[in-house]
Amino acid sequence: MSPSHPCHDPSWVRAQRIRIDSTRMMADRVGATHGIRPAELAALAGRAKAAHDALARRRAAGELGFYDLPGQDTAPIDAAAAWARGFENFVVVGIGGSSLGPKATHQALRHPFHNLLPPHERGGPRLFFMENVDPATIAALLAMLDPQQTCVNVVTKSGGTAETLANYMVARAWLERAGLDPARHLIATTDPDKGDLRKIARAEGWRTLPVPPNVGGRFSQLTAVGLLPAAVCGIDVAELLAGAADMAARCAAPDLDDNPAYRLAALHYLAATAKGKPITVLMPYADGLKGLADWFVQLWAESLGKEHGLDGATVHTGQTPLPAVGAIDQHSQVQLFVAGPNDKMTAFVRLERFADGVTIPPLHKDSPALGYLGGATLGALLNAEQAATEMVLTDGGRPSYRIDVPELNPFAFGQLLMLFEIMTAFAGGLYGIDPFDQPGVERGKVLTYGAMGREGYENLLGS
Amino acid sequence: MSPSHPCHDPSWVRAQRIRIDSTRMMADRVGATHGIRPAELAALAGRAKAAHDALARRRAAGELGFYDLPGQDTAPIDAAAAWARGFENFVVVGIGGSSLGPKATHQALRHPFHNLLPPHERGGPRLFFMENVDPATIAALLAMLDPQQTCVNVVTKSGGTAETLANYMVARAWLERAGLDPARHLIATTDPDKGDLRKIARAEGWRTLPVPPNVGGRFSQLTAVGLLPAAVCGIDVAELLAGAADMAARCAAPDLDDNPAYRLAALHYLAATAKGKPITVLMPYADGLKGLADWFVQLWAESLGKEHGLDGATVHTGQTPLPAVGAIDQHSQVQLFVAGPNDKMTAFVRLERFADGVTIPPLHKDSPALGYLGGATLGALLNAEQAATEMVLTDGGRPSYRIDVPELNPFAFGQLLMLFEIMTAFAGGLYGIDPFDQPGVERGKVLTYGAMGREGYENLLGS
C-alpha cells in the first residue's frame, strides 16, 4: 500500500468504518419473549470474561493466527500474483474455506460479470473454481479453457482434501495432455511443511505459498488462500488487510459493551439459547455480498455446530445460518420470516453509497404502478425496501440487527471478515465449545475413503 | 415434440422416472423421537383426505392451473422463442418466481458456462437477469451489452412488481438512448388482461405472452415465465412438460401410500409438527441442481410460512427450507447437520448417471492421500460422499430422504418441479392454510410505496 493511500488518512478511515445497530435485538423494541433485556446481557458477564480469557490465552500461545494476519508480509503473495497475472485464466482448485472466501471477495470487489469482460477492462485473468467433484462442471470447464493460458492454484491447508486432490489430478493430466510442464502452471497453497501436496510440490519444484498452521481453513481468507486470487484479479490486498486491522483494533476490548464482535456474539448466543432463535439469517441488500453470506454460513455452522459431553449428557450446540439477499428474497423467504414461526433473528447489511448511481427514468407518469418510481435511484428503492422489511419484522416482535457499510470497497470488506471471525471465535467460548475444530465430518470422510478403497479404510462401509 | 422423441417410448419413460426412498425418515431407522412411526402416518389419514378433497375442489373450480400446464399449447411460446433467438442477448427482467424458475432450469439443463461459450456452441442467446434493484449489477450489465443485439423479457404476473418495473424502465431508457424502438426489443410475460404492464404492452404493440390467472407466481415455472427463457436457450420444452405430466399422473392418487408427493408432504408435516424439525435441507449432489434448491426455498417458504387464527389464537406455520449442495457443503454445513441440534430433516437428490464421465487419472500412486483416487470417476466419488453423509445422519438418528434421478435431462427436471409443487400444495392442506397466497409481504410493499412517494401511500412511514 503506497504511503499516499487513503487508508493512511485518519478521517478517511473514520468515514469508512462500518456501523452496527443492534437496538432491534432488544426487549424494548421486540418484547421480552423474543428480545434481549439488558439484564440478560449483564448476567453473561462472567461467561463472557471466561470466553475472552480463553481466547487471549490461546492467542498468547500462538494458536489463533487469524488475529495477526493483517500484519503479515504480503511480498510473496504479490510476487506470485504478478506471475499468475501473465495467464489468461486463473483456476482455484479448492473447496470449503478454500473457495468460499475467494469467491466472496471476488464477488464483492470485482465487476459482477468479470469473466465476460474483454481483457483490457478486466484488470487480471478470468477466475474459475474447480470446487465440487461434479463431472459435468469439471468436463465443461476444462473443455473451454486453453491449458497453455491457464494457471491452476491448488488450495488445501491439510494437503489431504479428497475433492481438491481429485480435481487437481484431473487438471494436471489435462495440462500434461497438452504437452505442458505442470510445474510451470501449478501453484500450491498449503501447509508450509506437512501434507502430501506440499511433498509433491517440493519434489517437483512448483511455486508455493504457505497457509500458517495456526489458521484454520474457515478463518483463512486473509492468508494466501484468499489473498492470492484477490491480488491476481487486481483487488487491493493491502486495503483489505487495513480494514481487517482496523476492525481487530475495534474488537480488542474484553467486555461486551465496548467490543462490537463480542456484543453481537452475545446477542446471537442469547437469542439461540434463551429466546428460541435456532436460525439466524444474514441478509445483505447488495448482490455483491451474496458470497459473504455463503462464506458466513460455513464460518458459523462449522464453528458452532458441535456435539459435546456436559455433566454426563450429550449436548448439541449451534445456530443454523441462513443466507438471503435483499430485495430478491423479499419475493422468496420474507413471507416466512414475517409470518412463519418466530424462530429466527436477522442480520441485515446495507450499503450507504453505491459505486454506480442508476436513476429510474421518468416514464409512464400516468401509470399508478410505474409513475411514482421515476426520478428515484435504484439504490434509494433498495434501501427503502430494507427499511420496510426491518420495520415489519420489528413490529412483529422479530429481532434483527443491521450493519451499515459506507461503501463496498476492500477496506469495508476486510472489516466485515474480521468482525464475523472474532464474533464466531468468541461465540464458541460462550457455548463452551472449540470453534476451531470440525470433528463431525470425520466419519463421513472415513466412510468415503472406505468406499473409494483407500488403504486402511476398506472394511468400514458395513451396513 | 416430434413423434420419434423418446418420451413416446414407454420403456424410455420408465427408465427415466425419478425414484424416492423415504425409509430413512422412519422410526425404525432413526428412532421414534426423530423418526416417524407408520401409525403416525396412518393417523393423518383424515387430515390427508380433507387436504386432497380441498385440492380436488379448488382444481375443479379452475383455481389450480399449475396441474394442467403440461397439456398447454406451446405454439405461442415457440414462436416468441424463434423471434428472440435472433438476438445475441436475452435479458429476463423479473424477481421471485419470475427469476428463480428460469434460473434453475437453465442451470440444470444448459452448459455451466453458457454465457462464455462462442455463439455456435451455445445453442441460443446469452442469458442474463435483471433481478435485484442493485445499481452496481444493473449498471454493469447494461454497460456491457449492445442494446441493438438485446431482447428484454419483462416478467411480472401482476404487472405491478416494483423492482421489475423499475428495472424495466431503466432498460427501456437504455434502448431508447440507443435510438431503438422499444417495442421491437421488449416482450412482456404477464396477466392476459390485468395490470399496468399489460396496458402499456398493448398500447405500444409489444410482443406478449400470458401467465394464466389461475397460476401463482411461484407455481409458474411451466408457464411462459419459465418456458420462454428455456426455449430461447434451446431447452426441449416439450420434454420438460412430458416429465411434469408423468409426475402429475404418478401423484393423482388420493392417499398417502400411493401418491409420492402426498407422502413426502406428510413426512415433512409430521417432522415439523411432531418431531422437532423446523428446518428442512434440500441437498442435491450436482452443481446443476443448486438452482432447484433456491427455487424450492421460495416455493416452500412462501407457500407454508403463514400466520392464521385458530381457536381465537394466532398460529405461525412453516418449515424453514435451507439450500445446500453436495459435496461442497460437506465442507461447510454438514458439521452442523451431523453434530448440531437435531432440528433438521434432509432431502438428498442424487444423479445415477452423469452426462460427462471424468476419470481421475492414476497419478501419485505412492501417496496415501492421492493414490487411492486414481482410476475412479468423479461421479463415483461424488455419490460415495452422498452415501457416506446419508449414513452418518441416519446413524445419528437424523431423518432424511433421497430422490434418485436416472440422469439430468428435461424429462427428469419436469418431474422434480411437479413433484415439489404438488407436495407443497398438499402440505398447505395438512397445515390448514392457503399455500397460494403471501399476505405477509404486503405490508412491506406498502411501506416501500410510502417511502417512494407512491400516490395514496405517502403517510405510512410514521414510526
Per-residue model confidence as pLDDT tens digits over A375-411: 999 999 999 999 999 999 999 999 999 999 999 999 9
- Can you tell me the mean pLDDT for B423-437? 97
Helix (H, G, I), strand (E, B) or coil at A85: coil
Under the banding of pLDDT at 50, 70 and 90, the label for residue B460 is low
Per-residue pLDDT for B335 more than 60? yes
More confident residue, B166 or B441: B166
At residue B459, the pLDDT reads 64
Which residues of B are less than 8 Å from A360 in CB distance?
166, 169-170
Query: Between B326, B368, B444, which is nearest A388 by CB?
Result: B444
**Neighbouring C-alpha atoms within 13 Å toward the C-beta of A462:** 3
At residue A2, the pLDDT reads 63
Inter-chain CB proximity A331 and B298 less than 8 Å: yes
Inter-chain CB proximity B302 and A377 less than 8 Å: no
CATH code, residues B86-233: 3.40.50.10490
Under the banding of pLDDT at 50, 70 and 90, the label for residue B366 is very high
Per-residue pLDDT for B228 more than 50? yes
Integer Cα distance of B291 and B301 in angstroms: 15
At residue B463, the pLDDT reads 40
Which residues are registered as beta bridge partners of A17? none
At residue B46, the pLDDT reads 96
Inter-chain CB proximity A441 and B334 less than 8 Å: yes
- Can you tell me the mean pLDDT for A137-157? 97
**Which one of B134, B145, B199 makes the best mutation probe of the A interface by having the most chain A beta carbons within 10 Å?**
B134
- Can you tell me the mean pLDDT for B371-380? 96
Q: Is 1.25.40.20 the CATH classification of the domain at A67-235?
A: no
Per-residue pLDDT for A335 more than 60? yes
Give per-residue pLDDT as tens, A82-97. 999 999 999 999 999 9
Under the banding of pLDDT at 50, 70 and 90, the label for residue A5 is confident
Inter-chain CB proximity B354 and A135 less than 8 Å: yes
A39's CB contacts (< 8 A; 6+ apart) are: none
CA dihedral A97, A102, A103, A105 (to 10 degrees): 120
CA dihedral B403, B407, B411, B415 (to 10 degrees): 0
Query: Between A111, A305, A376, which is nearest B140 by CB?
Result: A111
Give per-residue pLDDT as tens, B122-137. 989 999 999 999 999 9
Q: Do domains A6-58+240-440 and A67-235 have the same CATH topology?
A: yes
At residue A356, the pLDDT reads 77
At residue A355, the pLDDT reads 79
Catalytic pick from A121, A316, A331, A455?
A331
Inter-chain CB proximity A141 and B322 less than 8 Å: no
Asked about A331 being catalytic, the answer comes back as: yes
B126's CB contacts (< 8 A; 6+ apart) are: B88, B89, B90, B114, B115
**Neighbouring C-alpha atoms within 13 Å toward the C-beta of B176:** 10
The answer, yes or no, to whether ipTM is higher than 0.90 is yes
Integer Cα distance of A164 and A150 in angstroms: 17
Inter-chain CB proximity B363 and A391 less than 8 Å: no
Inter-chain CB proximity A132 and B325 less than 8 Å: yes
For residue B327, the tally of other CB atoms under 10 A from its CB is: 27
What is the distance in angstroms between the Cα of B39 and the nearest Cα belonging to chain A? Answer: 26
Chain A residue with CA closest to B160: the answer is A369
Domain map (residue ranges) of chain A: 6-58+240-440, 67-235
At residue B180, the pLDDT reads 98
Which residues of A are less than 8 Å from B385 in CB distance?
133, 163, 444, 448
Query: Between B360, B389, B441, which is nearest A170 by CB?
Result: B360
Inter-chain CB proximity A172 and B361 less than 8 Å: yes
Inter-chain CB proximity A339 and B316 less than 8 Å: yes
What is the count of residue pairs from A and B with beta carbons less than 8 Å apart? Answer: 421
Asked about B302 being catalytic, the answer comes back as: yes
Which residues of B are less than 8 Å from A409 in CB distance?
none
Chain B residue with CA closest to A341: the answer is B316
Inter-chain CB proximity A301 and B449 less than 8 Å: no
DSSP output for A132-155:
S--HHHHHHHHHHS-GGGEEEEEE
**Which one of A335, A448, A461 makes the best mutation probe of the B interface by having the most chain B beta carbons within 10 Å?**
A335
At residue A8, the pLDDT reads 86
Inter-chain CB proximity A373 and B166 less than 8 Å: yes
At residue A462, the pLDDT reads 46
Per-residue pLDDT for A459 more than 60? yes
Inter-chain CB proximity B305 and A340 less than 8 Å: yes
Inter-chain CB proximity A381 and B166 less than 8 Å: yes
Chain B residue with CA closest to A117: the answer is B144
Identity of the amino acid at B151: C
Query: Between A368, A445, A451, which is nearest B387 by CB?
Result: A451
Report yes or no: A265 and A330 within 8 Å, Cβ to Cβ. no
Give per-residue pLDDT as tens, B191-221. 999 999 999 999 999 999 999 999 999 999 9
Which residues of A are less than 8 Å from B141 in CB distance?
112-113
Per-residue pLDDT for B379 more than 90? yes
At residue B310, the pLDDT reads 78
Query: Between B317, B379, B384, which is nearest A340 by CB?
Result: B317
Q: Which residue has the cell 431503466?
A: B170
More confident residue, A231 or A455: A231
Catalytic pick from A131, A163, A239, A302?
A302
Which residues of B are less than 8 Å from A344 in CB distance?
320
What are the strands of the beta sheet with B279-284, ordered from one edge? Answer: B19-21, B400-407, B344-353, B279-284, B320-323
Per-residue pLDDT for A321 more than 70? yes
- Can you tell me the mean pLDDT for A124-138? 97
What is the distance in angstroms between the Cα of A135 and the nearest Cα belonging to chain B? Answer: 6
What is the distance in angstroms between the Cα of B215 and the nearest Cα belonging to chain A? Answer: 16
CATH code, residues A6-58+240-440: 3.40.50.10490
Under the banding of pLDDT at 50, 70 and 90, the label for residue A458 is confident
Asked about B331 being catalytic, the answer comes back as: yes
Give per-residue pLDDT as tens, B22-31. 999 999 999 9
Under the banding of pLDDT at 50, 70 and 90, the label for residue B1 is low
Q: Is the peptide bond before A327 cis (omega within 30 degrees of 0)?
A: yes
Under the banding of pLDDT at 50, 70 and 90, the label for residue A463 is very low
Chain A residue with CA closest to B200: the answer is A364
Q: Which residue has the cell 404487472?
A: B159
- Can you tell me the mean pLDDT for A60-72? 97
Closest CA to B107 of B293, B248, B238: B293
Chain B residue with CA closest to A165: the answer is B370
Helix (H, G, I), strand (E, B) or coil at A161: coil
Which residues of A are less than 8 Å from B454 in CB distance?
368, 372
Chain B residue with CA closest to A108: the answer is B136
Q: Is 3.40.50.150 the CATH classification of the domain at B6-58+240-436?
A: no
Which residues of A are less than 8 Å from B341 in CB distance?
278, 316-318, 320
DSSP output for B56-69:
HHHHHTT--GGGGG
Inter-chain CB proximity A165 and B369 less than 8 Å: yes
For chain B, give the mean pLDDT: 95
Per-residue pLDDT for B458 more than 80? no
Give per-residue pLDDT as tens, B59-117. 999 999 999 999 999 999 999 999 999 999 999 999 999 999 999 999 999 999 999 99
DSSP output for A359-402:
BPP---TT-TTTGGGTTSBHHHHHHHHHHHHHHHHHHTT--EEE
Q: Is the dihedral of CA A424, A304, B293, A157 positive or negative?
A: positive
